[in-house]
Structure 1
Amino acid sequence: MKEKSMKRIIDQYIRAYNNFDSEGMIKDLHRNMIFKNIANGEVTLELKGKIAFKNQIEQAFALFQKREMKILEQKFGDDIVENKVDFKGVLAVDVSDELKKYDLIKLQNKSVFKFKDGKIISIEDIN
């Protein structure tokens, strides 16, 4: 897949993410996509399929009043894009004793998008 096409799809996904738009986020996902969240080398969440991913992201919407993801750097390969990502979000609810409503969360991580048949087949968020 061409770099320009992969970039366009990822940019659209990020815009939808920032706007709490689940339909926009899943628009270019392969129906058999796999999502993994990896923290400290361990998979903390794995979802299979476009519908399971949509259900999860809609649940996650309730956690934030606002959120913003920005791509700081991209590395393109054959059907794969590694993104260094900056995230900021304001909590809408108390999450734990340490993380309370209105707290600002900031982090940087890596998001890896893999493509198949012109669609996103895999997303790995790596902390």
Structure 2
Amino acid sequence: MQKKNIDQIHRYVDAYNRFDIEEMMEQLHPDVVFQNYSNGALSLETRGASEFRAQAEAAAKMFSQRNQTVKAVSAQHAALVAEIDYVGTVSKDLPNGLKAGEKIEISGISEFTFLDGKIASIVDRS
């Protein structure tokens, strides 16, 4: 496990928690792939920095507060896997039925791969 890559995961998560999309993007490879799985089903996928940025900007508007806590990071095959606890407060009523002010609490893992010193893929599983 490279300390540099673990530090990069922490910088990305810290920027996410602060709604700092520019700092998040600085950690990502231009061809970054993002996938989110919920209960084993793919619920979201982006390809490339511009798609990721668009999704990150849209997601930031959905929450008045959000916090990911990295509990542990381990190496698994070609990825670093972070165990993450997530807490967020919805800022407006959402199509999935969540109402403004509701709190979401989720535990899961995020799998990170790296290319050219940047995060090349993120796979979130909860």
**The TM-score by the shorter chain falls in which range?**
over 0.9
Paired position in structure 2 for 1:6: 5
Partner Cα distance (1:121, 1:8) in 2:
15
User: Once the two structures are superposed, what CA deviation does each residue of 1:34-86 show, in whole Å capped at 9, x if it has no partner?
Assistant: 00011222211111001110110000011100110000111125652101100
1:67 touches 1:87 (CA, 8 Å); kept in 2?
Answer: yes
Identity across aligned pairs (percent)?
33
Q: Please say if residues 65 and 90 of structure 1, whose CA atoms lie closer than 8 Å, have aligned partners that are also in contact.
A: yes
What TM-score do the two structures reach when normalised by structure 1?
0.92
The question of whether the paired residues in 2 share the 8 Å contact of 1:79 and 1:116 is answered with no
Superposition misfits of 4+ residues, deviation over 6 angstroms: none
Report the equivalent of 1:103.
102
Aligned residues, how many?
126
TM-score (norm. length: structure 2): 0.93
Distance 1:36 1:97 in 2: 19
Unpaired runs of 5+ in structure 2?
none
Partner of 1:60: 59
Structure 1 residue 8, shift from structure 2 partner: 1.0
Residue type matched to 1:51 in 2? Answer: S
- Give me the CA root mean square deviation: 1.5
Mapped to 1, the partners of 2:108 and 2:78 lie a distance apart of 20
1:22 is the counterpart of 2:21: yes
Residue type of the partner of 1:19? R
